[in-house]
Structure 1
Amino acid sequence: MIGDPRLGAGLLLAALLLGVDAVRADTYRWVDDQGVTHYSDQVPPDQAKQRRFKLSPQARELAVIEAAKSAEELQRERQLQLLRSQQEKLLAEQRAQDLALLRSYRSEDEMRRTLDGKLATLDTLIKVAEANRERQQAALASQERQAADLERAGQPVSSELRELMAATRRQVAELDEKVRHFQAEKTALRERFARDMARYRALSGAQASPSPSRMMVTGDAEHGAGEPISAIACAVGPVCDQAWALAKAYLLQHAAPTLALETARILQTPPPANDQEFEVTVTRIGSGQAEDILFLDLRCRPSPAGEALCASPRARSLRGGFKGFIEAGLAASGRDAPPARQGR
């Protein structure tokens, strides 16, 4: 029926609904490889690789959608995530050891008394082993004289006496080894307590600082995605030991004049005191094979200024120079290390 008010109302409602849908439709802006800017509510598949912006109805930027990553970029991201997870595991273990150290002792004097007690126990064990060895040596000397007397008299040395001398010699050798073991244990104990005391002193005098897990980490997809990862693989043994010494030298020359932490697996500069400083960590990650991986990473204060610092040319230069510094040092000494392989 012409002029039916119900039909007019239905058409008006449909038009309004279509208008609402049009307003609510997402609009994107991106620039293609030729530098042409596009606006559309749909991104063609061949343009999905481009970084794009989601726009409001007033053409304001609502969100940034990163460009699709290449296979190489995804592989690098996986490798970096794995190295960081392994590094964080080492750091978490160290934090647990630090906590146990602080809970175990109330002062350095208490640590020294504990060390003296353990050394005294080992000295007692050494004296007992040495006394037993002297007795066995005296018994062996008597047995050997008895065997010599028999031989001079033209009599055969019995198999029982020969077996007894062999058993006594084994006992003397075992007691020799026991004394050496206790002496080596004393040396290792002194070295361990020296490290623990130095760490206890550092922890006791340290100021409160952000937990490493709360600090922003560099090298995300937005900053430095195309840069090589600061990691180098080295053969376990003298080569990797020298590479580890070179890693320490690199930190002291290029990151900080002193280290806040130095263990067999972790080298770390002091935590940042402000937004213009970062913490540098190198970890020696065991691969479970015949090589280790030395991995350097940075942490900054969780603030806009700290984020800018971790994305700065200064930070990129520090990360980028690590591998070359170690390779040059190994080459100068006549040693070499294979490059860190991808996909770890």
Structure 2
Amino acid sequence: MRKSLLVFAAVVLVASLSVCAQNTGNIRYKWYDGQGLMHFSDSLTAEAMKYGYDLVNDHGMVVRHVPRQLNAEERAAANKLAAEQAAKQRAAQEIANAEAQMLTAYPDEESYRISQQQALDNIDQQIHTTQINLRSQEKALTGLLGRAADIENAKEPVPKFVIDGIATQRNVVNDQRNTLKRLQALRAQTVELQARQLARYRELKAAQDKAAQDNPTE
């Protein structure tokens, strides 16, 4: 029995080698030059590598195609394109993950709108605090200016520390005003962004609800 199995295995191996030899045969190289003319050779040439080539067996069948070699500039461009495509894919996946998390965190529109309002409330609180600080700093600046005016009315020179204090206080007031403008601009941008986000949430929720209807759980 063991001898029969060995004989059978030998026959299968020989048959496999025979088929492989018939499929591949003697490999030659085929390529097309810059004018589109076909070339064959028994060895790999620089021109074949330049234009790309096919590995062809003795039956004329193409075993494998090898694309042409890229120069340094082409390789750099190909690598850049691949990196850009990979970055786009990562960005798309990150957006998909964020949207999936959003649907999980906010199962209904009311909860999502509440979260948006909380974000606005936070900005409004910052605006309110900045407005209070601004009024306080403006009042301090007004006081310093009044003091300087009183000194000038008394025909006396305004002390340097008062002049410096006024300059410093002006900077503080300007910083507070700029902060208030940035916060007000941020609030306007947030309102616009939230409107787009809410529209997207509704699209995703509708698609989710439809999928649940089409594939009800048993």
In 1, Cα distance between the equivalents of 2:16 and 2:154?
123
Q: Work out the CA distance in 2 between the residues paired with 1:45 and 1:171.
A: 76
Q: In the alignment, which residue of structure 2 is the partner of 1:130?
A: 131
Residue 43 of structure 1 deviates from its aligned partner by 5.2
Q: CA deviation at 1:95?
A: 2.1
Higher relative contact order (CA 8 A, sep 6+): 1
Whole-angstrom CA distance in 2 between matches of 1:28 and 1:80: 38
- Cα distance in structure 2, aligned partners of 1:121 and 1:20: 75
Deviations 1:249-288 (A, max 9, x none): xxxxxxxxxxxxxxxxxxxxxxxxxxxxxxxxxxxxxxxx
Scaled by the length of structure 2, the TM-score of the pair is 0.64
* Structure index of larger Rg: 2
- Name the structure 1 match of 2:64: 65
What is the aligned length? Answer: 182
Residues in 1 aligned to 2:53 and 2:142: alpha-carbon distance in whole angstroms: 89
Q: Distance in 2 between matches of 1:45 and 1:102?
A: 58
**Identical positions, percent:** 22
- Secondary structure of the equivalent of 1:155? coil
Q: 3-state DSSP class of the match of 1:65?
A: strand
Q: Which residue of 1 aligns with 2:182?
A: 181
Q: How far, CA to CA, are the matches of 2:15 and 2:144 in structure 1?
A: 112
State the one-letter code of the partner of 1:70: R
Equivalent position amino acid for 2:91 in 1: L
Letter matched to residue 187 of structure 1 = A
Deviations 1:278-334 (A, max 9, x none): xxxxxxxxxxxxxxxxxxxxxxxxxxxxxxxxxxxxxxxxxxxxxxxxxxxxxxxxx
Comparing 17-26 with 136-145, which one deviates more in the overlay? 17-26
Taking a change above 3 Å as real, the CA distance of residues 100 and 28 of structure 1, as seen in their structure-2 partners, is: farther
Kept after mapping to 1: 8 A contact 2:27/2:42: no
Q: Does the 8 Å contact 1:105/1:111 carry over to 2?
A: yes
RMSD over aligned CA atoms reads 3.9
Mapping 1:1-344, distance limit 5 Å: 24-25=20-21, 26-27=24-25, 44-46=43-45, 49-52=52-55, 64-66=63-65, 68-72=66-70, 75=75, 78=79, 80-206=81-207
Aligned with 2:203: secondary structure? helix
3-state SS of 2:130 partner: helix
- Listed as ranges, the gaps of 5+ residues in structure 2 are 1-12, 209-218
CA distance in 2 between partners of 1:197 and 1:179 (Å): 27
- Secondary structure at the counterpart of residue 156 of structure 2: coil
Per the alignment, residue 10 of structure 2 pairs with: none
SS at match of 2:158: coil
Larger strand fraction of residues: 1
Deviation at 1:110, TM superposition (A): 1.9
Distance 1:117 1:90, change over 3 A: closer
| Greater fraction helix | 2
**What is the Cα deviation at residue 19 of structure 1?**
10
2:67 is aligned with what amino acid? K
Q: Per-residue deviation at 1:176? A: 0.8
Unaligned ranges ≥5, structure 1: 1-16, 208-344
Cα separation, 1, equivalents of 2:183 and 2:126: 8
The 1-side partners of 2:190 and 2:63 are apart by: 57
